[in-house]
Structure 1
Amino acid sequence: MTTKTIDLKHPGQFFIGGKWTEPSTSETFNVINCSTEEVVATVATAASSDMQRAVAAAREAFDHGPWPRMTPQERAVYLERFAERLEALNDEFARVWAIETGIVYKVAQPRIGLFISGAFRQYAAMASTFPFTEELRSVSGNLAYRIYEPVGVVGEIIPWNGPAGLMAYKTAPALLAGCTLVIKSSPEAPCSAYMFAEICEEIGLPPGVVNVVTADRDVSEELVRNPDVDKITFTGSTGAGRKIASIAGDRIARVTLELGGKSPAIILDDYDIETAAQTLGSSYFGYNTGQICHSLTRVIVPRAKHDSMVEALANIAKQIVVGDPFAPETTSGPLASGRQRETVERFVATGVAEGATLATGGKRPPGQARGFFYEPTVFGNVDNRSTIAQQEIFGPVLSVIPADDEASAIRMANDTPFGLNAAVFTNDRDRALAVARQIRSGTVGHNGPRTDFSIGFGGFKQSGIGREGGTEGLTAFMESKTVVMA
């Protein structure tokens, strides 16, 4: 396993007001290669005064700069420039993703382009298709207009598990809307945000439109509390989202929250178990080691087919090659951090203690002394009310839950505080749609995980507030104004 470093042009600075600026303290964050546990980059840590400077720069750019006063078509020109540079740097963004979080490089390399450059292309095109100003008639017959205007200064809080793609689906629509931004990157995975800031400088984005800092939770909270920030968009845990919503609610700030999930996959009685297991096991264990909020982690099957599903998933898990994300034979990499691996270990121990059957996995792979590796793990006979069925694990752990019939499967799918994603496996398309309509979830896929940010992504219940992607992802960064003429 070779050492891989991340080369940033200005790791010891912040991007504020269109230029690289020195931090107010000498504190830093070390970025760890999760495969080797070696330091691959060191970035500056934002203190309170640094965050205040970033917010002030965004406020100045919104109140007095050219960006909000440009037409959407003029802003779209910059979005196209972003897309071009992101496409040129696609492989480097994928490499950074693999180093920071453990996703297998050959999986990251094609996917990341769909997210980062794809988001900017999609929203650039909306400059010509979205009705930013609509001519209407009031109830009394007067000429009226519905005008969409930017919400203002936006604070983006980016998670560590998929920073580049999630940042793109927040940033592209916010920029098209005319907002200015403070991007707060995660200390565990800050490098994509730094690379994005470098692009802002390269394409000549007006000063203060995008500002990038890396901070821990206390300083991040100051971003949420700052009265000069009009909206917060956050992806992360439900616990953190609950606190952000509380703080924002105190001052009636706008929020979009994309939070946790405990997503069900319902296997109906007409669907082949081996086919379902192959789809679920390969996509789950092979995509970022299960560190994805919308992962289908609860596999709900007819009771008569429970044992067959457990056996099929266990066989797939045993075939997964855990190792260096850059090795061609690897099909699943490490977890992102030692802390995350310890969390997974605690959940697995709890699952065993509460009576679930550990079919395979459940420990660190032998022979890998360094790196945050963990074996793909499958539980059977899981009670839907148990800890591992109700709480988000964020690691390579699948739970198989027996159901007595279709109605009980739907009840168990909905018996969770979350509602982010789901899937229905059946050969009957009408039946799939009928079941999907009964699941309280932001997305439901037919015969597999089928989330689509280009249409819209977000959750019911404690999985969040609002949607990202699509037209809803654009209107989330705007205010609607009604003008009625005399």
Structure 2
Amino acid sequence: MTTLSDTDTLAAPSVLPDALLYIDGVLRGAEGGKTFDNIGPWTGEVVGKAADASPADVEEAIVAARRAFDTTDWSTNHEKRFALVKKLHELFVANQDRLAEIVRHEAGAALVAVHRAQLAQCLNSWRDLMDVYPQLEFEKDFGPRETYGFTTHRRAYYEAAGVVGAITPWNFPLYINAEKVVSALLTGCTVILKPAPDTPLAASIFGELAAEAGFPAGVINVITSSDPAMAGEALVTDPRVDLITFTGSTAIGKHIQRQGAETMKRVFLELGGKSAAIILEDTENFAQVVAQSILVFHAGQGCAVTSRLLVPRSRYEESKAILKASYDAFSTKWGHFDDPACPMGPVVSKKQRDRVKAYVDLGVEEGATLLSGGNIRTDLGTGWFIEPTCFVDVTNDMRIAQEEIFGPVLVVIPFEDDEDAIRIANDSVYGLSGVVTSGNLDRAIAVAKRIRTGTISVNGGVPINGDLPFGGYKQSGVGRAWGVEGLQDYLETKVIGWRD
């Protein structure tokens, strides 16, 4: 079994700097100097402190963002905005070592996750947004039209939506913070970033580097708080905030949508998933594809992970044997802090670890067979470690097949034919991502086109990049992030018609 080696040096307490608020162009502490502990998932110990914002601090941020939008040229000075966003990106690139330490200690990311999805995907996708920005239209001429016996000239103007409240999760904090902040800034909005309490410094760094880049006061504001709801509730219910963009659980997304309705606020939601990977029986390198389907990257803490593995019943026993061997082979390859080949560390918190374990126990109660894992691993240290876990003999009506666990738990479900696989994949309240593999590309694409999901990989293709729209069907969300489509969501449309 895995144990921490001598090279797996974990951080001592307070290895991270304080996470400060950034309000109206000033990096500062919270009202009254109040702070909360920043807990590291690898050790369960304090790795730093974060400013614990009060309602008065949130009020200051809203006032600053509103003033910066209403009284400055930020929303109309396109060249200035782009230059500052570019400068901020350059500062993030220059501070990659610091950023890596933040996501290691705050999000519990292992090094493979740090250098791929956590950091590289953040910086690369940010650059993608800047690359597609020139495609964004701020004016469109619809030409003249004769109506009621006279000619009207028509033109649309696409204007910044206003003040944006960005509420972000802890799983990929730099990447998701960048999506919301950069999209808002490029389109001329001002923004208040409210991160999850688990990852405050991954948000505070946006304020610190924005100050260094020279952003005008009030354009970017960052609020950290130990209370997961207080600041978010204030942003969602305040009429001075025009738009809410939220990534997180479907339950909280529904609450935000209800609360935002009181002020008819525009709300974009990127929510949960229970995505299916369909491996058809004619897949080339079938054993390799099945083996690589184990759910271990960043401990399964991703909304777009494929946590339901659908395999042909004709090859079900073969698939179970492949998976068992793959999980056994991986048993010593996770939980290593300093191993550059390690893709999986702890989950983010004790609360999350206990939640995942409760689902493991539920799966056993429901009658599924635990093929591998399922144990909390206190032998790995004092952090929040739970084993990579795989269930077989699962039916799609089980809760472990329907509910988002957000941990390293894979459920394996057999299907009879293509129609059955499509039915099972679509039998979910979610529709965020998916996978189809086949030796026949036309067959795979035909299956993929019938899956009710926002993104889907066929034969290993990558459908998620910063120049592509990302989002979900059904209860996986509303609106799109990234790409031109994601930027357009931050714009309002005004049409002017005039007579000569």
Q: Which TM-score band applies after superposition, normalised by the shorter structure?
A: over 0.9
Q: Alignment partner of 1:382: what SS?
A: coil
Q: Deviation of residue 399 (structure 1)?
A: 0.4
Show structure 1 runs of 5+ residues with no match: none
From 159, 165, 186, the counterpart of 1:155 = 165
With 93-102 and 187-196 compared, the bigger mean Cα shift is at: 93-102
* Deviation, structure 1 residue 6: 6.4
Task: Please name the residue that 1:234 is paired with.
Answer: 246
Letter in 1 for 2:221: N
Q: 1:449 to 1:367 in 2, by over 3 A?
A: farther
Assess if the C-alpha contact under 8 Å between 2:448 and 2:456 holds in 1. yes
Match among 251, 254, 258 for residue 270 of structure 2: 258
Query: How do 1:322-333 residues align onto structure 2 when only pairs under 5 Å count?
Result: 322-328=334-340, 330-333=342-345
Asked if the contact 1:443/1:457 (under 8 Å) is kept, the reply is yes
Aligned to 1:474: 487
Match among 103, 110, 124 for residue 104 of structure 1: 110
Match of 2:316 among 293, 306, 313: 306
Q: Is the 8 A contact 2:375 2:386 kept in 1?
A: yes
Shift of residue 14, structure 1, vs aligned partner: 1.4
Structure 2 gap ranges (5+): 1-7
Aligned with 1:78 (options 84, 106, 113): 84
Cα contact 1:61–1:208 (8 A) shared by 2: yes
Q: What amino acid sits opposite 2:163 in the alignment?
A: V
Aligned residue for 1:401, secondary structure, equals: strand
In structure 1, the residue matched to 2:357 is 345
The residue that corresponds to 1:57 in the other structure is 64
8 Å Cα contact 2:145/2:153 also seen in 1: no
Q: SS of the counterpart of 2:46? A: strand
The aligned amino acid for 2:139 is T
1:247 corresponds to: 259
Aligned to 2:224: 214
Q: Where in structure 2 are the equivalents of 1:165-184 lying within 5 Å?
A: 165-184=175-194
AA of the residue aligned to 2:494: K
Among 11, 36, 40, the residue aligned to 2:43? 36
SS at match of 2:379: coil
SS in 1 for 2:157: strand
Determine the C-alpha separation between the residues in 2 that align with 1:3 and 1:276: 34
Q: Distance in 1 between matches of 2:116 and 2:366?
A: 40
Displacement of 1:185 in angstroms is 1.4
Q: Which of the residues 122, 140, 147 maps onto 1:116?
A: 122
1:288-317 Cα shifts (integer Å, max 9, x gaps): 110001100001111121222222222222
Shift of 1:348: 0.5
Matches within 5 A, 1:439-478: 439-448=451-460, 450-454=462-466, 455-478=468-491
Q: Secondary structure at the match of 1:68?
A: coil
Shift of 1:113: 4.3
Partners of 1:220 and 1:25 lie apart in 2 by 21
Provide the aligned length of Structure 1 versus Structure 2. 481
Percent identity over the alignment is 37
Measure the CA separation in 1 of the matches of 2:139 and 2:382.
Answer: 57
- Tell me if 1:295 matches 2:305: yes
Per-residue deviation, 1:329: 5.5
Query: Which deviations, in whole Å up to 9, do the C-alpha atoms of 1:112-159 show, x marking residues without a partner?
Result: 444333333233334433221122225436432121100000000010
Shift of 1:222: 1.2
Letter in 1 for 2:387: E
Contact 2:27 / 2:208 at 8 angstroms: preserved in 1?
no
| Aligned residue runs from structure 1 range 271-420, under 5 A | 271=283, 272-281=285-294, 284-285=295-296, 287-320=297-330, 321-328=333-340, 330-365=342-377, 367-420=379-432
For 1:221 and 1:152, the matched residues in 2 are separated by 18
Normalising by structure 1, we get a TM-score of 0.95
